Structure 1
């Protein structure tokens, strides 16, 4: 049975600024800032070791249109390593690293093919088999129209056909909608595989043929929790086998800390340290949000008396004594059965925020995003980012107007 093997990755977001991280030590900040680059190194290391027939990068190699010098150099170095091993790489740039950005250009080695702004096809010869790969790069940041109609359908049954598309399934609300498509539109092309990008949560939209998002290679905030990576794909005319390969060097997540019976601060700190340590043993390095649960009335009162930053600093120092890298981003508390109630005004404000859709958040935050200085550093306001803002705002409201706790 004829078979090809390739790596499907997307959304590397090299050079991600990790905005909003406060109170970090120098080494913590460096580990966080380098995480997307280290995840990329893992991708290249795997490809060099496994020697697939080719590698597909379906958009957003870089985090911004003004690609950082360091990120570009890291990518060029990785591409040269793959060139030295004779591994072709096909790239389609996405909305974050579109072709209209301004950057200091690096010359990529000859093994790299970059799709232009119009849909085109590149054919590879793999062990006597033709592999026709179609794709395009974003010519500008916002590609709102569907591009699927521009993909030529498959016409040779003996060849393999792959489509690369950085875009959104119609009706998707978790991310900004770019280059929208429907599953039926893709299936009508009779391709053997669709390599998607843009959505940071890995998912398989269709099994036969595979229509796949690999997710991003490294989480960048709590909304991108869990392990991240890419797919090692073995494709034949009878089907495909996809193996997920972890690339992320640290994991974003939330962990509940059982505080049953804790009435003194040293007991709370020990509970936080133990919970973080257990997570590290299971999952490795991480950036965590800790949620204190099962607090009795006395412990609730103890936490209320401590400024938020001071509590976070103490917990960080307790956790940092461990060998594994563990960053505590934030700490919140769940009200126990004996806890007090939120004030009516706090309840009303939080309930109002819970009812907001993405359009409401854009209206509320429009002045911030339009500001000439702050706007350029902000992530696009998509559903994941809005949920993060809502969570932080609700916690602040609870601290200011209610119990100071997160329900």
Structure 2
């Protein structure tokens, strides 16, 4: 017997961070979650699995467009024709979905209760599947506590949308413990909610498969589902299968050894090509991070926009429509020792000390934020919101800008000292 465990489909959810860039394939971006779901269905049919487990967040909130639901129903009908059953628990995003509440599901699809745990026994497979969905978006109780003890005569699977013991970047919904899950006597726990794949335990198997399609830069790397093979009532194999159609990556380039812009450019080119190769033919969105102590620090920071566009052009030349830079971040430092310069007793040392000691008190930050508020109103909504928001009136953003200014002034002085 084989089955597929998937979660966090977020069907028809938008991908964030690319649509505003010239040349980005907007239509492909918008359809990415559907195409990844297509791959899930194809894999299930190809592998002739007995059933699919969907551990929450099939949808992405209160969608008004029922085309999303109709699309899902068409795929469930395909699985029905192939003799494949589907078992679903509602997650926090599904709890807000009108689609979840009103669509009549086909006979091969089971949506578990949101009021209490339900058990479905598949007599032909000697399998019991136990699950409970979210009745509301914010469930803070440990739902697993009410799950029944496993039947020693059956292969028991727990289906649950949970943060487990808490994960960074995820809401603390339906928290539970590994020991609590183990105590139920199940052979496999099919979890959802955490978008990064994790095999929490192998005795018993407790697995987050991750989401099937990365949606922004915090969801990097391969995305897909888990294929489980069971033999004689025991788990024989648990393997990840890629389903994603677009990939996200963070490309960090240490340019400490580069002494010319041509050398740095070549390093960036090699790094981007590596990300393109690792994507396995999929389009890839990259956050490029240029870091390290190098003599080119001042040149890069003096004209960040120019070099950002240079690297965007490089990405286009390398991959055509296959690679885009989601963002370029310059994290370099000057290669000249500032500490040595500060120890000198001259005018330059005095200026450096003055810049390094420059601080802005809270009242000054508040005044500056007020002056920037008019500018903030002119910024595009996608810059102010989304997964990587920027608000120039926030104290942390102002402090970061001050540090950038201090760094730039220091490096300009050092560059002048060395004749750069």
What range describes the TM-score normalised by the shorter chain of this pair? Answer: 0.7 to 0.9
| Cα deviation 1:340-381 (Å, max 9, x = unaligned) | 8796479999xxxxxxxxxxxxxxxxxx9xxxx99xx75699
2:163 aligned with 1:165:
no
- Residue of structure 2 in register with 1:355 after alignment: none
2:87 aligned with 1:82:
no
- Residue of structure 2 in register with 1:187 after alignment: 182
Shifted more, 390-399 versus 213-222: the winner is 390-399
Aligned ranges 1:4-403 → 2 under 5 Å: 4-21=1-18, 23-25=20-22, 27-66=24-63, 68-98=65-95, 100-103=96-99, 105-125=102-122, 128-155=124-151, 157-236=152-231, 237-259=233-255, 260-261=257-258, 263-264=260-261, 268-284=264-280, 285-294=283-292, 296-297=294-295, 299-308=296-305, 310-323=306-319, 325-336=322-333, 338=335, 344=356, 398-403=403-408
Q: 1:76 to 1:273 in 2, by over 3 A?
A: farther
Q: Which runs of 5+ in 1 are unaligned?
A: 350-367
* Matched residue SS, 1:312: helix
Over 6 Å off, 4+ runs: 345-349, 389-395
* Matched residue SS, 1:116: coil
Q: Which has the larger radius of gyration?
A: 2
- Residue of structure 2 in register with 1:354 after alignment: none
Alpha-carbon distance in structure 1 between the residues aligned to 2:70 and 2:409: 46
Q: 1:397 to 1:278 in 2, by over 3 A?
A: farther
Deviation of 1:393 after TM superposition, in Å, equals 8.5
8 Å Cα contact 1:48-1:85 kept in structure 2: yes
Q: 1:397 to 1:205 in 2, by over 3 A?
A: farther
Alpha-carbon distance in structure 2 between the residues aligned to 1:393 and 1:246: 41
Deviation of 1:253 after TM superposition, in Å, equals 1.7
8 Å Cα contact 1:80-1:108 kept in structure 2: no
8 Å Cα contact 1:293-1:333 kept in structure 2: yes
8 Å Cα contact 1:92-1:136 kept in structure 2: yes
* Matched residue SS, 1:195: strand
Deviation of 1:38 after TM superposition, in Å, equals 1.7
| TM-score, scaled relative to structure 1 | 0.78
RMSD over aligned CA atoms reads 3.6
Q: Which runs of 5+ in 2 are unaligned?
A: 339-351, 362-375, 411-420
Q: 1:304 to 1:197 in 2, by over 3 A?
A: same
Deviation of 1:51 after TM superposition, in Å, equals 1.1
Deviation of 1:179 after TM superposition, in Å, equals 0.8
Alpha-carbon distance in structure 2 between the residues aligned to 1:346 and 1:66: 50
